[in-house]
A and B are shown apart, each in its own frame.
Chain A
Amino acid sequence: MMRSLSILIVMLISSFTLPAQTAQTLFDEANDQLTAGNYEEALTAYQAIEQTGEVSGALYLNMGIVATQIDSLGLAKYYFIKASEFNTTQARAAEALEYTESQFSRQSAMLPKLPWEKAVEWLLEGPGVLTIFLTGFSFILIGVLLILLKWFTSFSFQKFNHTLSTVFTTGILILLLSFYIDYVNERYSGAVIIADETQVRNTASETADIVSLAYEGYSVTIDIKKSAEHKNWVYIRLGNGQFGWMKPEALKIL
């Protein structure tokens, strides 16, 4: 019995650690290519790791460095932004991003974000959707607990109903907020232009009027829901507030 249990535990541990070991092995090999100056091969190897679903800040940072070396600054900016989302590589990625931004010959004018947009962004990057949801759910649970205590014990106090409604209202509002933020997060996504120059058109057609030109390194926002209306086109908003359609090959979605 003890022996079978031991085998089961070993198998379970292996199932968790094996993919990580594979990713680490591939990562080491890709790092060797990078050290040897084989940038194209290194980038291919890094991308293979990314496709396994295992990612890390170090992976994205190294991919950004490789992209810089092969003079693909838009791609480098994309990877450095991804690396900045990990605590372990946040500082280095910020430094690398500053460098990359300074190398673009064209800079997009950026409209300041609205206070509500800033708040949503802060909530997404700070506590996160799941934490907000669980906070709201905790309020609901507290409300349920108060009701149960009142029903089955002599627990009560002044303004009990007022407190109960406040707790439930707060919980529901926080839950709704978490779903709204989740909706915004799912509907809109950041992206970086990786093509040297691409045309932004007012409709999803090659012959449509050109609204603007977007250059490598421009940060844009994609409306994922609207983009689904047309195959091989994405609907984007430029930093200066202009909207339009462009080819998806010209950008990388964050």
Chain B
Amino acid sequence: MTRTGKLNWLTGLIFSLFFVSSTVFGQDVSVSSSLSETNIYSGESVTMTISVSGQSINNIERPQMPPVDGLRWLSGSTSTSQRIELINGRPTVSYSYGYSFIAQRPGTYTFPELTIGVDGKGYTTKPISFNVLDPGSIDNDQSARLPDIYVRLEPSTTQPVVGEMVIADIVLYFKNTVEVRSYQPTPGWKAEGFWKEILENRLQTKATSTLINGVRFQRARLLQYALFPTKSGELTISPFELSVQIQQRNRRRDIFSFGLGQERKDLQTLPVTLTVRSLPDIDNATFTGGVGDFKITRTIEPAEAFVGESIEVTTTISGSGNLPLLNKPIYEYPETLEIYNPSESSNINRNNREISGSKTFTDILIARNAGEFTIPETNVAFYDPDNDRYRTISLPALTLKATRDPRSVNGSEDMLRLNVEPITGLAQWITPDNAPLTSRSWIWGLLLSPVVILGLAFWVKSYRDKMNTDTAFARAQKAKKLATEELEKAAASTELKNGYYHIYRAISLFIADKLDLPKAGNTTSELVQAVEDSSSSKLAIEVKRLLTKCDTIAYAPGASQAGMARDVEFAQTLINELNKAL
């Protein structure tokens, strides 16, 4: 979250006028005086302002300005202003009289008391000390090295204990020649090693005057953080970054420039190292983690309850310090009380340069049996950094009386008995099988089976489709079967010529079907040539020899039935070899 701010320099001026002031109250009239600077270089001007405020002022007798050592009054430079404001719902009028002086000789002086008559009554201001400095004492080289504007992180302490609240001010310093228009912190500042809370600053940022190495600077606190170290040792607060919109006062202004001449500057603080001390040991109390100033109380509500009703033990820790980091004290509760998860709430204020408020822890208990129970006295402690010691608070013992609700007494008593009887006799026994799915082999078998089934079915379907659509393939597949049938006819034939006809037909049909030749009209030489082209010449020779024999058997001398049977067998062997080769 970013936060922007704008310096109200008129307010700053008024604040600086009141910075060193003395106030005199009389009934509803207050009179105060202030010097705009209390460290003034010789030759510098300074303004003494006398303010008179009240709800019903009729007449003011302006004071006579006495001679003041170290200052010379510029008599013609007196200014007057009037302001009306509502204070507690009633109008209040404030009159301011400004007197300008020039600082004279270096030294330490006192502006004397002044008497002012208001409605006929005299009011006297308090004297104010101031120093007039020698301009010759300024180290010009050193002051020249100072930047026109810079920012610093100023911790309230550099040696806190763990958990102690450290107020870190983000302070902007700038010379009088610089006018700051606005500023914007860069988001994402991480104060590692610290719990961080931003403090609220309801007042507008005001600038005060300060001297640094002889140079007058304006000092404005922009932001304020509460840091709580979470561990001991040397902890470094990382640089805080912001960007500011500035304008040089001495640059010539043009009424038509419309803001030209403004520039943006990115600034960051120097790292600040804190030496965080450890908390000492504690042995006789429970440490809540609190570091600060706290009050701790513990209550029980209700102190009398029915069995089963919820009871709240509330611990309230209030005060200032590391409230967000407080832990719930641990209590010893009687065993018969049921304890539920505690709740916690907090009401934290982040004003007035501190974290304050209260944090409440609530334990929820339920009594399961009737009786009187005591939550024993407990010592809880927090660390007081102002006095560097633990402060122990004794929380008195709490008593709880639990009674049975008469409306549900029967049910409660039943709850206290186990009415389940053991089972005897025959029991139904099982052997549990808790093996995971992935370790059962049949599961994987089942998962695989659809794939196998579909694969086989696809193969069958593809074969069937090819047999129906691819004639050559179908003839090749059926070739051996048809050839075998022809050979069976040859074997069964008693007539040699008919037998050899079937052998010839078996061989020729087989070759034609296998090689997708015409079913009829193939000559022996064409068939032999086809075999030779598709396989080996040796097979072709065998085919030629058998087919020639079949063609010429009618003229062959000594042909017999036994010879034909051998040729049938040979033809079968030849078909087998052709089946492998083609």
Contacts and interface: CB of A to CB of B under 8 A. Distances in A.
Interface string A18-36: 0110011001100100110
A140 interface: yes
Interface string B481-524: 00000000000000000000000000000000000000000000
A141 interface: yes
A65 B420 contact: yes
Interface of A is mostly: helix
B55 to A, nearest CB: 61
A179 B219 CA distance: 71
A203 interface: no
A182 B447 CA distance: 16
A147 B428 contact: no
B341 A109 contact: yes
B457 interface: yes
B44 to A, nearest CB: 63
Contacts of A106: 338-339
Nearest to B424: A31
A102 interface: yes
A126 interface: no
A57 B427 CA distance: 8
9 contacts: A58-B427, A61-B423, A89-B423, A99-B415, A106-B338, A107-B339, A133-B443, A137-B447, A148-B453
Interface string B418-436: 1111111011111110001
A93 B419 CA distance: 11
A61 B420 contact: yes
Interface of A: 19-20, 23-24, 27-28, 31, 34-35, 53-59, 61-62, 65, 68, 86, 88-89, 92-93, 95-96, 98-100, 102, 104-107, 109, 129-130, 133, 137, 140-141, 143-144, 147-148, 151-152, 175, 178-179, 182, 185-186, 240
The 5 closest A-B pairs by CB, nearest first: A58-B423, A58-B427, A56-B427, A96-B420, A105-B335
A237 B364 CA distance: 23
B340 A68 contact: no
Interface in B420-466: 420-424, 426-432, 436-438, 443, 446-447, 450, 453-454, 457-458, 461
B438 A31 contact: no
Contacts, number: 108
A254 B526 CA distance: 84
A59 B424 CA distance: 9
Contact of B429 (A23, A98, A151, A179): A23
B337 interface: yes
A107 B341 CA distance: 9
A95 B417 CA distance: 11
Contact of A96 (B338, B415, B418, B447): B418
Contact of A148 (B338, B415, B421, B457): B457
B418 A65 contact: yes
Most buried by A among B429, B431, B453: B429
A141 B341 contact: no
Contacts of A19: 429, 431
A24 B437 contact: no
A140 B446 CA distance: 10
Contacts of A59: 427
Contacts of B446: 137
B368 interface: yes
A105 B428 contact: no
A34 B423 CA distance: 11
Contacts of A179: 437-438
A140 B454 CA distance: 11
Contacts of A107: 338-340
B78 interface: no
Nearest to A88: B428
Nearest to A178: B437
B336 interface: yes
A20 B428 CA distance: 9
B371 to A, nearest CB: 13
